[in-house]
């Protein structure tokens, strides 16, 4: 897996987009200082349109964000969502960047394994037991820091481990930004395909083609092993050339894309600066786990030594509730369809799956849990309290070309039962950070006729106790049912 290319590309994309916007604005309002430029109505209107912030909070913070009030230091994390982890994807590369008076200074760009290999021998933070059991790690490494599904917690752990491994400028970092390769793929849907060194790159093939070219096919371009990554510069020149000329020709498309990528949790932020964190929170781009006080569900996968197999996985999450005596029983079931085959980037899928549910839920049964990927014995089921929720977790493996299911059944707590008795039910289903897409099916039986629902079922299904709906988890979903 070629790790350096992807993270570096995203850093450059950010710089290119900011640079394009500033150049355009400066052309319109030249001969003013950078500080005045950032507070001009033209620039602020464009920024607020770009991020979808009608309050103007984000644009008001731009001088701080770009280091005009004081230098800022950022830790950029490339999270590969073809190898899912709870905090967005495997952390294969990072970049440490300082911004001062609008100037970007790249302090370090490298694979996480380089930093991890330099870990002081006496620095041995204890890794989550699952990582120790399935990956055989002897400590908690920076590359595995995003074990929490809440990005703020994962970012804080990343900063802790980064500092413990003597990462550059560790004490100066005030903001963490994470990206998935979906950002690059979606950008190229706008720029369109282009040819680099005789190869055509499209939004559909760019990640796989660059990975393969650098890792397996570098001799074809006449490079030796040490210089095999030279294709990156050529590709970057082509991509940045497209972005610089295209950003304002298709400004509306890029604006919508940035909003979508933030809402779909492919760009995620955490800041130690309370004001910046507040603005990001208001935009919904912090990747935090919510505690709504209603029914709740979040399914979280952690790819454990299964290469980049998430690129071949289709997911369908089914959630159902049913009355049983005086209780309501919930069933959270994930169906994994492995569409791939054994090759250089795909293997059997191995995941430690956790489901987060309302606090006070009581586990009844688990179907599909496995001890190991080759053992017929049922797996151990873990559970605990975290992030104001209860969670259950276990391991499952799915062979290429096969379908696997994992289902947790549990009693909903009295708080949810009382809401149903009060004839008002709400459900929040949160999407895992970085996940590309998951089908979502609801089958909710309230044992009393439904009077209203948002979103509504098809009209033919109205007027009974069942709420049946099919949608997706591209974003977090909220459901309201009146009984």
pLDDT in tens, 397-425: 999 999 999 999 999 999 999 999 999 99
> What's the pLDDT band for 283 if we cut at 50, 70, 90?
confident
* Phi, psi dihedrals of residue 462, rounded to the nearest 5°: -75, 160
Lowest mean pLDDT among 91-95, 339-343, 384-388: 91-95
Pairing of the two strands 173-179 and 267-271: antiparallel
Q: What's the pLDDT score for residue 38? A: 58
Residue 14 has pLDDT above 60, yes or no: no
Which residue from 338, 300, 267 is spatially nearest to 128, judged by alpha carbons?
300
> What's the pLDDT band for 12 if we cut at 50, 70, 90?
very low
Domains of the chain with bracketed CATH: 4-283 (no CATH), 295-482 (2.60.40)
Residue 24 has pLDDT above 90, yes or no: no
The β-bridge partners of 319 are 332, 442
Distance CA 310, CA 181 (A): 13
Convert the pLDDT of each residue in 287-335 to its tens digit. 999 999 999 999 999 999 999 999 999 999 999 999 999 999 999 999 9
- How high does pLDDT run on average in the chain? 86
> What's the pLDDT band for 13 if we cut at 50, 70, 90?
very low
Q: Over the range 6-45, which residues count as b (16 or more CB within 10 Å of their CB) and which as e?
A: bbbbbbbbbbbbbbbbbebbeeeeeeeeeeebbbbeebbe
The residue among 127 and 251 whose pLDDT is bigger is 127
At residue 272's C-alpha, the angle toward residues 269 and 273, to 5°, is 95
Give the three-class secondary structure for 145: coil
The residue among 382 and 29 whose pLDDT is bigger is 382
Burial grade of 150 (CB within 10 A; 0-12, 13-18, 19 or more):
buried
Cβ atoms of residues 161 and 94 within 8 Å: no
Convert the pLDDT of each residue in 343-360 to its tens digit. 989 999 999 999 999 999
The residue among 74 and 237 whose pLDDT is bigger is 74
Q: What's the pLDDT score for residue 42? A: 61
Convert the pLDDT of each residue in 230-269 to its tens digit. 555 567 667 767 776 676 677 678 778 888 999 999 999 9
Distance CA 327, CA 452 (A): 23
Q: Whole-angstrom distance between the N-terminal and C-terminal Cα of the chain? A: 52
Residue 218 has pLDDT above 70, yes or no: no
């Amino acid at each position: 897996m070629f790790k350096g290319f992807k993270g570096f590309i995203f850093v450059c994309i950010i710089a290119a987009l900011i640079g394009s916007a500033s150049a355009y604005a400066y052309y319109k309002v030249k001969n003013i200082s950078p500080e005045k430029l950032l507070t001009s109505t033209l620039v602020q209107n464009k920024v607020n349109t770009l991020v979808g912030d009608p309050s103007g909070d984000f644009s008001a913070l731009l001088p701080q964000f770009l280091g005009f009030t004081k230098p800022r230091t950022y830790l950029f994390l490339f999270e590969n969502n073809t190898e899912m982890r709870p905090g967005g994807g495997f952390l294969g590369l990072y970049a440490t960047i300082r911004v001062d008076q609008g100037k970007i200074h790249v302090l370090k760009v490298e694979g996480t394994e380089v930093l991890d290999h330099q870990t002081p021998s006496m620095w041995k933070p204890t890794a989550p037991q699952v990582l120790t059991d399935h990956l055989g790690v002897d400590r908690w490494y920076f590359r595995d820091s995003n074990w929490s599904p809440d990005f703020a917690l994962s970012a804080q752990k990343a900063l802790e481990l980064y500092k413990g491994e003597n990462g550059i400028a560790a004490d100066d970092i005030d903001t963490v930004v994470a990206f998935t390769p979906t950002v690059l793929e979606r950008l190229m849907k706008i720029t369109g395909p282009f040819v680099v060194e005789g190869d055509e790159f499209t939004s559909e093939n760019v990640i796989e083609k660059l990975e393969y070219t650098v890792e397996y096919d570098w001799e074809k371009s006449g490079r030796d092993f040490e210089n095999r990554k030279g294709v990156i510069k050529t590709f970057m020149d082509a991509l940045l050339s497209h972005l610089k000329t295209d950003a304002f020709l298709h400004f509306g498309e890029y604006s919508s894309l940035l909003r979508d990528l933030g809402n779909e949790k492919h760009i995620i932020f955490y800041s130690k600066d309370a004001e910046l964190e507040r603005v990001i929170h208001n935009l919904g781009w912090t990747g935090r786990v919510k505690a709504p006080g209603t029914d709740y569900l979040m399914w979280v996968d952690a790819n454990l030594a299964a290469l980049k197999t998430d690129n071949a996985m289709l997911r369908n999450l089914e959630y159902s509730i049913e009355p049983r005596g005086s209780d309501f029983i919930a069933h959270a079931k994930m169906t994994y369809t492995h569409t791939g085959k054994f090759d250089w980037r795909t293997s059997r899928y191995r995941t430690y799956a956790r489901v987060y549910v309302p606090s006070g839920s009581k586990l009844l049964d688990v179907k599909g849990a496995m001890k190991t990927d080759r053992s017929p014995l049922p797996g151990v089921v873990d559970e605990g309290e975290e992030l104001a929720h209860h969670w259950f977790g276990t391991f499952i493996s799915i062979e290429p070309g096969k379908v696997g299911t994992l289902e947790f059944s549990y009693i909903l707590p009295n708080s949810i039962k009382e809401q149903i008795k009060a004839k008002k039910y709400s459900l929040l289903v949160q999407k895992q950070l970085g996940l590309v897409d998951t089908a979502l099916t609801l089958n909710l039986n309230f044992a009393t006729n439904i009077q209203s629902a948002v979103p509504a079922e098809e009209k033919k299904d109205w007027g009974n106790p069942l709420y049946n709906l099919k949608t997706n988890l591209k974003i977090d979903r909220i459901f309201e049912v009146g009984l």
